[in-house]
Structure 1
Amino acid sequence: MKATKITYYITTGIISAMMVYIAFETLTKPEVKVSMAHLGFPDYFRIELGITKLIGAVLLWLPIRLLKETAYIGFAIMFGSASIAHYAVGDPADKVIAGIVFLAILITSYVSHKKLQNK
């Protein structure tokens, strides 16, 4: 159980910290605006995505099951969609794989959370 708890806190911490960092970049860096246009997304979607990442990072830590599950589902869709979008426009493999790697970290967080709930 101790290993499961450590795994949960580390993986959830990685996802949350990454989402907060990327959200601020998404909302403030002009390069992200260019990147989003390259992927075919309108600029307002960049703003929505940044705000949603911040909200999701907070929801992962709340003890309210429905909100936590919503954040996990939202991030899973986002990571999968990011990989697909990068692949669709012909971006390098590292950009495609990044979403898959973070999806794996998210799944590890989710599975360890479920194990802790069942004990």
Structure 2
Amino acid sequence: MMNKKIIYWLSTALFSAFMLFSAYGYFTDPTFKEAFVYLGYPDYFRIELAIAKILGALALLLPFIPRILKGFAYAGFTINIIGAAIAHLAVGEGIGSLTLIFVAAILLLVSYIFNPSTTCNSAK
């Protein structure tokens, strides 16, 4: 049981840190602004996505957040990851450009599977 909690908190912390660092970059790093233009997104989407990533990371990290909100955070991050992969492939980037996206997806999946409040673990 203790190993499952360690895996959950480690994957959740790493994933959330990844999302928080990218959100910080969206606000402060001009290369992210250029990247959103390159991918064909309007500039306001960068700000919206940064705010959503911060709120989602907090929802995953804070233990007093209700399970339903954590579920929405997992769903939102899943949509974000799939959308990012599609956007990068749509502009002609190769599969190799998806390395960080793939790492984020694995961390999110591990966090979800080992989350004590998800349906994956409720029957156990």
Alignment correspondent of 2:23: 23
Q: Distance in 2 between matches of 1:106 and 1:57?
A: 11
1:54 corresponds to 2:54:
yes
Q: Distance in 1 between matches of 2:78 and 2:106?
A: 9
Task: Tell me the SS of whatever aligns to 1:46.
Answer: helix
Q: Assess if the C-alpha contact under 8 Å between 1:11 and 1:108 holds in 2.
A: yes
Query: Shift of the alpha carbon at 1:100?
Result: 2.4
Letter in 1 for 2:3: A
Letter in 2 for 1:46: R
Task: Tell me the SS of whatever aligns to 1:91.
Answer: coil
Aligned CA-pair RMSD: 1.6
Task: Point out where structure 2 has 5 or more consecutive residues left out of the alignment.
Answer: none
Query: Shift of the alpha carbon at 1:97?
Result: 3.2
Q: Distance in 2 between matches of 1:61 and 1:96?
A: 25
What is the aligned length?
119
TM-score normalized by the length of structure 2? 0.88
Q: Distance in 2 between matches of 1:117 and 1:9?
A: 17
1:66 corresponds to 2:68:
yes
User: In percent, how many aligned pairs have the same letter?
Assistant: 40
TM-score normalized by the length of structure 1? 0.91
Query: Shift of the alpha carbon at 1:90?
Result: 1.4
Q: Distance in 2 between matches of 1:14 and 1:118?
A: 26
Q: CA 1:116–1:3 in structure 2 vs 1: closer, same or farther (change >3 Å)?
A: farther
Query: Shift of the alpha carbon at 1:53?
Result: 0.6
Query: Shift of the alpha carbon at 1:28?
Result: 1.2
Choose the corresponding residue for 1:81, options 83, 90, 99.
83
Task: Point out where structure 1 has 5 or more consecutive residues left out of the alignment.
Answer: none
Alignment correspondent of 1:44: 44
Query: Shift of the alpha carbon at 1:26?
Result: 0.7
